[in-house]
Structure 1
Amino acid sequence: MYTTRSIKAALLCGAATALALPATAQTIDENDVILLDEIELGKSKREVQTEKAESETVINQEEMNDRQANTIAELVDSVPGVTLINGASPQGSGINIRGFGANSTYGSDQKVLIQVDGASVGSEELYRIGTQLFTDPELYKNVTVLRGMGGSYEYGSGAVGGTVLLETKDASDFTDGEVGFRFRQTLQYSSNGDGLTSSSILAWQPTQNFEVLGNYVYRDQGVMVDGDGNTIGNSAFDAPSWMVKGKGTFGNDGDHSLTLSYADTNSQESDVPYDSFGTTGGSFGNVDRDIHTQTATLKYNFNPLDSDLIDLTVQLSYANQEIDQSYVSGSSPLETTGSWPFLQPLVDADHQYETTKLTIKNASQFVTGSASHNMRYGVEWSERERAENTAASAPGGTDERLALFVVDEIDFGNGWVVTPGLRFEDQEIGSDSTRYYDNSAAMGGVSAIYKFANGWGIFGSAGYTENMPIIDDLGTPAYMTQPEKAKSFELGFSYAQNEVFTAADSLAFKVTAYQTDLWDVTSYTQSIGGSSYSIDEIDTKGLEIEARYSMASGFYMDLNANIQRGDYYASAAPSGSQYGDFEGIPADQLRVAVGKRFGDKIDLSWEAVVNDAMTRSTTPTGGFTIHNLRATFRPEQGVFADSEIRLGLENAFDKLYTPHLATRAAPGRTFKVTWAKTF
């Protein structure tokens, strides 16, 4: 890691040189050697993963606190290649990675995997309902975003866009492994819509080998306004969440552990538009909608100290999401027309998804010749069951899968690290009212990086995956034996080094060019001349840049950018319109943050987000630049001693803008203040 640099080794070498002088010059005692503390070169907001060939970004607890996010989506929008469909509220929002994932019609296209503590969460392609990732950012301590297929084969299939991995907080994060109680209280206020958030965490460690955490979060957000002061319809929400998590270690040297976690989120909305992407009821009218999300995991780990070949994890997870909705009579202008009998089952439909998954995985470290291996391999069984409902577009059914996977990180010791990955998946999908279909697929890829001694690195990867048929498509038999297929290629270079421009600075950057081709497409259509045509193939390509620079003085800078293009092919479209620009491509974006830390007590930063105009779309959008200001204070004295105070000013100049792919205007100027303290 290049964020900090220790001079301890240099000081010890100097001491050793002095100690090597003739004994007549001096007599040395080991107690005379003084180990000085490490000197840090400073740090930026986020690490750049220059040691890996995969396109990976990790958002840690410090950055999560700094961003004061209302939703999970708002935590990841600063990652290059990640674009939000709306995002300021959980309903009507979604995550798009490299052009795949959420869109303005569905909250998910099944090409972005989302896992919470290893449990697969989210539902399928619910029409005009958002991401279904209803949970609270305060429950989590880090988020890992894998862009593209690289690194996805041990988590699932069909990750054409990428993978989002969320990890919940542990009691030891607050007790530091010491016996006793710790309590952390966080309060946050947001001026736009008078948003209020309270997070209360109780961490208890009765022994060195057992820990328990309880976390309750209440988040209430009122109706927000845009940069012109206009009300943003369908932006208010009320979402209480809670979580309990316990872990016990036992056996010789604590080589066994058992972890149990349960998270629960509720969202109740009254008289809101059925179309959660819109701001008004429109033709669909309004509904009363209750959403209940539950995630439970039970994980056993065996990692004996005397064997590098065994690091066994057995995990059973369960995710349940219920969306109960009922139409508000008289809210649709079509209620008295002949179209209403077609729409009423859709707006009155209830949905429930239950996903049960058992994963058995082992990690082995071993050496063959001059190469060292870190191999992860296992078997996974999963079953997703969708309850029957009255909406023809949302059929009930069961999707059962059995998968085998292996990923081997091979370090040849000469600068080369090569990581092949394979996954085989067998699927049975169907329902008693339709029929059952069998599909199977082998998928995999390889990534490689060569690290030069001077800090430079070159890397590349190639991958292939298949997105298996989904329950939503049971009404279209032709789709049930046609997995969507994709291949991707990445090529890039990286650099990470200290003492680049001065004797006390640190620089790291990573540049990645990528290309993704998707065929046998069943997820997308293209509107041409008022008619809709199925898309057969999609080709995308882009360039991502991640960079950071920091100095021992506390100055730091972060930069992220993404430029992407995409084309579609629709064979059934009229001649001359069979090729065109793919509508899922986000606008080109540059994000720059500049800040200054004053020790550990004060952190001040300014961030600019620049989006280029998007004209390669049937719904073009203009470019914009917004500015965000953030400040963190950790007082040592007074009434706020040992607490954390964060101030944020988002969209500082009250800009009116709608990001490309979004369906409603973004919030205007928003002031946020957060107070947190651990007792």
Structure 2
Amino acid sequence: MIRSHYLRGTTALVCLTLAAPAAAQEEGGGFLGTLVFTAGKRDLSYGGAVSRTVVDSEEISDRQASTIAQLIDSVPSVELINGGNTPQGSAITIRGYGATTSYGNDQKVAIQVDGASVGSEELYRIGTQLFTDPLLYKEAEVLRGTIGSFAYGSGIVGGVVKLETKDASDFTNGEIGLAGSQTFEFSSNGDGAVSSTTLAWQPTERAEFLLNYAWRQQDNMVDGDGNTIADSATEAPSTLAKGRFIFGEADQHSVMFSYTHSVTDEKDVPYDQIRSPYYFAFGNVDRRTETRQAVLEYGYNPLGNDLVDLTANLSYSDQDIEQEYIPGSSNNPDAADLANADQRYQTTKLTVKNRSLFSSGALEHDLLTGVELIRRERADNEEASAPGGEDRRFALFAIDEMSIGGFTITPAIRYETSTIESASDYGKFENDALMGGLALGYDFDNGVSVFGSAAYTEGLAIIDDLSSTVTTTDMNQTEKSQTFEVGASYTGTDLFAAADSLTVRGNYYDTTLWDVTSYSGVDHVETEGFELEASYGLANGVYFDLNGHYGEGTEFAGNGAETTWRNTPTDRLQFTAGRRFGEELDLSWEVVHSADRRDSTGEDLDDVTLHNLRATWKPDARGWLDGSQVRFGVENVTDEQYIGHLSSDSRPAPGRNFKLTLTKLF
């Protein structure tokens, strides 16, 4: 339901926030994305009623992130469970959904790598499974909320994280020949070291191949008081191989193949990666996690035919977690059974979609239709209370962006079926759901636009819900949610000075989740919040970026008791001031203030303000400096001692950290 202050928030939002109309459409179709020019460090990308943020390749390099989660935690309403400086602590939440203090994912946030679904397993106390290096990627896109999710899955309440790997043409600039890069990065806190080597070959204008090997290592880090952060050491190699072919008389055919492989190998570390207050009861393990994704994509876009723009994406993801209990590391007699349990998930997915552009009377249509087949297998492991099985799904979706004058009307629909068969004689369960939404927008043709949306989705039961006490009711009940959003945006130039530019976007969301099965003791959840993104730039290179989130959440028990929603995002405001000196030098100062914070047990934490400094130098020179890039950063400049929001007090956040990155393009 929507509380009365929803209307008050809507009125305030329309009055106080302005933003730009959509100009260019995202490949996924319809309201799923548009691009707006900004002069700040981050291009602000919008999609009608979709809250969409893109972290591009330049920002990926400048942020010097250690994990994918740390890369996107600057996006409004994105939070990390237990921090993001190690792969084991980089569990992602969006608007309070996604990771929890018990599991690495609650199925309400989807993560994709080149279209392959990854990191969606509900493994008890093991945390996130998104072990991959940020240097493999040229773009990280975050879709917040439900309205932009219907082409990517069901039951998505928090949003979607889409990662796109680098292409050879990013290095060759589309020219025939060899190219590549070598990157070295060093960090003071934990004596971290990174090497990333990329080789790119373009034998013809229609063929390209890329190979990347990244190796990342760090010792245990220290917090702001100089104390060692236990078990924060990590070593993680990653590999990317990718190729692309274009063929046909009019280059109407394309084929892309990508393969990523990442490994983490930990020795004598707590089984409980989330490090709950009683993590010691689970004991320690030697754990090796190996993750693979393979994607084969075919595209067909005939010249002169606006009705056909076909893409067929076949993906396979495989995650294998091997664990061995350290004898005597726990006094719990059952710890060894849980800690010795290996885990393996394999997901095969085929998505075929087509985009059509056509007119019907005065209406202009941008129609995306698709079909999806998914097969997910989980290895059987009774010792870990993780029964195996197979989850087969079939889905149809359609998204139609209809434009007339300044109005845009975008209905979206998804139908999905699921058949789960247990490998342990727990039975066979079949479910289906119809879900969808409607987005409305109006462009005033003066830089101002307003938009709103309503979306409904259902989360079908998954293999992880199987257990020895499973009931038909448990496996046949779907989690349901509805989300309402409203907002406004503005973009303009020559406002306060000649050739300046301003882009501002604000949106209010209100979400209700009911028929809850993911969280113990919860009947339904209500969350609401306000998200803001803004960028202002001057002709002399000075720029300012601002983004933030303010919200609240309430969970309701079956008896009606109310408490603060356990995963409510912190109230956060992030401000960046910087200046570019031509194309050679970029200096910036970032301030992040977080309030209304809690630890993993729900106890209140003090507000915290962090300062980060960054400098990027790309010398315009010949000789050995040609193609070189130097980046220097200081994280947590004031060496603050603090616990991250929703983190365990046994894993405080890192203190001051100097980072130096050297890149040579060739």
- Alignment-derived partner of residue 622 in structure 1: 606
Task: Give 3-state SS (helix, strand or coil) of 1:645's partner.
Answer: strand
**Secondary structure of the residue that 1:480 maps to in structure 2?**
helix
Specify the alignment match of 1:486 in structure 2. 481
1:106 paired residue number: 103
CA–CA separation in structure 2 for the residues paired with 1:560 and 1:278: 30
Q: Distance in 2 between matches of 1:103 and 1:232?
A: 21
TM-score normalized by structure 2? Answer: 0.91
Structure 2: give runs of 5+ residues left out of the alignment: 1-18, 24-36
Q: Distance in 1 between matches of 2:494 and 2:48?
A: 22
Q: Does 1:539 align with 2:530?
A: no
1:424 aligns with 2:415: yes
Deviates most, 422-431 or 473-482: 473-482
Higher relative contact order (CA 8 A, sep 6+): 2
2:48 aligned residue (49, 52, 58): 52
Matching of residues 212-611 of structure 1 within 5 Å? 212-278=209-275, 282-332=280-330, 334=331, 339-340=332-333, 342-412=334-404, 414-433=405-424, 434-475=426-467, 476-477=470-471, 478-525=473-520, 534-572=521-559, 578-611=561-594
8 Å contact kept, 1:297–1:315? yes
Q: CA deviation at 1:642?
A: 2.7
Task: Report the Cα distance in structure 2 between the residues aligned to 1:269 and 1:432, rounded to whole angstroms.
Answer: 30
1:188 aligns with 2:177: no
Write the distance in 1 (CA, Å) between the matches of 2:45 and 2:93: 21
Equivalent residues of 2:597, 2:646 under 8 A apart: no
> How far apart are residue 666 of structure 1 and its match?
1.1
CA distances 1:299-349 after superposition (whole Å, capped 9, x unpaired)? 1111011201111111110000001001011211x1xxxx41x32211111
5 Å matches for 1:72-151?
A: 72-85=68-81, 86-151=83-148
Q: Do the aligned partners of residues 237 and 615 (structure 1) sit closer, same or farther apart at CA in structure 2, a change above 3 Å counting?
A: closer
Q: Calculate the aligned-residue CA RMSD, in Å.
A: 1.9
Which AA in structure 2 matches 1:644?
Answer: Q
Which stretch has the larger CA shift, 545-554 or 635-644?
A: 635-644
1:662 to 638, 641, 647: 647
Q: Is the 8 A contact 1:505 1:550 kept in 2?
A: yes
* 1:370-404 deviation line (CA, Å, top 9, x unaligned): 22111111110001100011434321111110000
Contact 2:46 2:53 in 1 (8 A): no
Contact 1:234–1:278 (Cα < 8 Å) also in 2: no
- In structure 1, C-alpha distance between the alignment counterparts of 2:407 and 2:578, rounded to whole Å: 35
Partner of 1:17: none
SS at match of 1:74: helix
User: What CA deviation, in whole Å up to 9, does each residue of 1:15-71 have, x standing for no partner?
Assistant: xxxxxxxxxxxxxxxxxxxxxxxxxx9821112235622100011101111100110
1:639 Cα offset (Å): 4.4
Residue 202 of structure 2 corresponds to: 205
**Offset at residue 430 of structure 1 (A):** 2.5
Q: How many percent of aligned residue pairs carry the same amino acid?
A: 51
Question: Which residue of structure 2 lines up, in the alignment, with residue 61 of structure 1?
Answer: 57
Partner Cα distance (2:257, 2:189) in 1: 37
Report SS of the residue matched to 1:66.
helix
Cα distance between partner residues in 2 of 1:386 and 1:614: 36
Report the Cα distance in structure 2 between the residues aligned to 1:423 and 1:645, rounded to whole angstroms.
46
**Could you say which structure has the larger radius of gyration?**
1
Looking at structure 1, the residues matched to 244 and 390 of structure 2 have their Cα atoms a distance apart, in angstroms, of 32
SS in 2 for 1:283: helix
CA contact (8 A) 1:271 1:286 kept: yes
Q: Residues of 2 paired with 1:155 and 1:51: CA distance?
A: 16
Q: Which amino acid aligns with 1:241?
A: S
Q: Residue 241 of structure 2 aligns to which amino acid in structure 1?
A: V
1:261-320 CA distance string (max 9 Å, x none)? 111001100111111122996111110000000000011111011201111111110000
**Structure 1: distance between partners of 2:382 and 2:423:** 16
Which whole-Å CA distance do the structure 1 matches of 2:89 and 2:126 have between them? Answer: 6
Equivalent residue letter for 1:208: E
1:477-525: CA deviations, max 9, x gaps? 2320011100000011111111111122000111111000000001112
Kept in 1, the 8 Å contact 2:104–2:123? The answer is yes
Residue correspondence of structure 1 range 626-637 to structure 2 within 5 A: 626-637=610-621
Deviant stretches of 4+, over 6 Å: none
| 8 Å contact from structure 2 (residues 20, 505) kept in 1 | no
Q: In structure 1, the residue corresponding to 2:209 is in which secondary structure?
A: strand
Say if 1:97 and 1:615 are closer, same or farther in 2 by CA, change over 3 A: closer
Deviations 1:603-628 (A, max 9, x none): 00000000114379832111100100
CA distance in 2: counterparts of 1:595 and 1:267, whole angstroms: 36
Residue identity opposite 1:100 in structure 2: Y
Secondary structure of the 2:383 match is coil
User: Matched residues in 1 for 2:38 and 2:531: separation?
Assistant: 25
SS in 2 for 1:391: helix
Task: Provide the secondary structure at the position in 2 that maps to 1:158.
Answer: coil
Q: Structure 1's 50 and 397: CA in aligned 2 closer, same or farther, altered over 3 A?
A: closer
Q: Mean Cα displacement is larger for which, 192-201 or 278-287?
A: 278-287
Between stretches 47-56 and 643-652, larger displacement belongs to: 47-56
Do the aligned partners of 1:42 and 1:555 also contact (CA within 8 Å) in 2?
A: no
CA distance in 2, matches of 1:187, 1:668: 22
1:432, distance to aligned residue in structure 2 (A): 3.5
Amino acid at match of 2:87: P
Q: Which residue of 1 is the match for residue 34 of structure 2?
A: none
Measure how far apart 1:157 and its partner are: 0.7
User: What letter matches 2:566 in structure 1?
Assistant: E
